[in-house]
Structure 1
Amino acid sequence: MALLSGGHVMIEDVPGVGKTVLAKSLARAAGCGFSRLQCTADLLPADVTGVTVWDQHAAAFRFRPGPVFANVVLVDEVNRASPKTQSALLECMEEGQVTVDGETRALPLPFMIVATQNPVEYEGTFPLPEAQLDRFAVRVAIGYPPAADEAAMLLDLAAHDPLEAVRPVADEAGVMAARAVVDRVHVDPALARYVVALVGATRRDPRVQLGASPRAGLALLRAARARAVLAGRGYALPEDVRDLAHPVLGHRIILSPEAAARGAAAAEVVRDALDAVPVPL
């Protein structure tokens, strides 16, 4: 849904559950270009966006693109990069472009960032600021598989690369055509008002220091349109919005220190907003 709606994804989960394989599989199935950026504390912004170098043979400066010049970019362990390097992703995530040495270059379309981070290991990490978290359309977790599925995985994947079984079912043009279909999905004005009411309820919650932004409402409605397309509908329903509220809104809500000390969670705020706001008929 994020790929079809033009959003970026944060996968927050423990190591070894398949975050990297998921991103590679998505890029391969979509027939899109893929690149990976492994974040470390000494990573520089130029390592992300690219750098201008002197070409001795041509006697001129040439731009060497960085890993963000791909359709699907895996930013692995994004919270291990320094804040300066993390900020290099802000422009490309919001505007689909990169400015280096005063020159702006457009990124390829479609463009999508899939970032990962470990939620239980904080030593040597730099938490993402709210402005950057807000640029991720959804935050998801994979979790551990059921015991039977994990046993089957051990037998099936021990002898070969799981990515070998993934075949392209589209290409860049196909993904962009699908995005155009998503943009044409009908949204009733009452549904738009419902999204605004949900977002507003998170801002008024006494447990919240910073609620969901207008960008969150846009992301929620775009994701709902993509869900409608995947369901074979040309119109979005309140059920689409409600099913996507937690992954779209949860990571954007900043609790007050008092609420956090009491053990409150952003998921509770989203759940209470869903319960409090009337669903349009």
Structure 2
Amino acid sequence: MAKTIFITGASRGFGKLWAEAFLKRGDKVVATARNTDTLNDLVKQYGSNILALELDVNNREASFAAIAKAKAHFGRIDILINNAGYGLFGAVEETSEQEARAQMETNFFGLLWLSQAVLPVMREQRSGHIIQVSSILGLVTLPVLGLYNASKFAVEGLSETLATEVKQFGINVTMIEPNGYSTDWSGASAFQTQGLELYGPLKQAFSESATPDTWGKPEATVDAILKVVDSPNPPLRVLFGKVAYNFVKEVYAQRLASIEEWKEVSVTAHGH
């Protein structure tokens, strides 16, 4: 049965790739972008099955209005995919207030506004699926991506809580946690802080640590997203990419070992 899917950040990368995959199989898609000209090719090819909306997810009022337009146009919203976001590269010490706030506005607050906006629609339907495009960097961290890491950790905490609150209404929540992919995320879509010289060697080492195999192929995520969307019992979390799987597994093993090592201190700190 065809689904109605609302997806943000659909101008390029995962957003556009997935929007096209949904349309190709007959789903109805509400695709948002800051510039809807980037969606003209999909509108031309898929006509009335796609609704292209201009949206800056940082604007809470506009986010609620976009959800209302989508509901009025297609009659329902089965799935919300919060995909809009960008990477801010730079050491924590280098990051300006404006850069830090802007990163959180888009990656965290934009996702929050749309999640809030769609919930009344899905509650009324007694069904729905909110998919948050998080990152492995919402579970583990890398240097020179401190604010990006923080924004995705915030997404994880919010979404895990949300899942427990809305399950009673027949609404599922899934966090997709990709490793790096060969999209514009680290290129045209990325922002860089004004660098301090003392972090130069760290940044160079970080840059040189990536190999061609580090980056996943965006096209390989299409089958994966379709499986998540079609699952009758979707997961709360799903990693995308073999680097994500290996990295998270290794770090979590280290965390558990450290928790056990400090168990006596932890238990004594309870007081009784």
TM-score by length of 1: 0.31
Greater relative CO (CA pairs within 8 A, separation 6+): 1
TM-score by length of 2: 0.31
Q: Looking at secondary structure, tell me which structure has more helix per residue.
A: 2
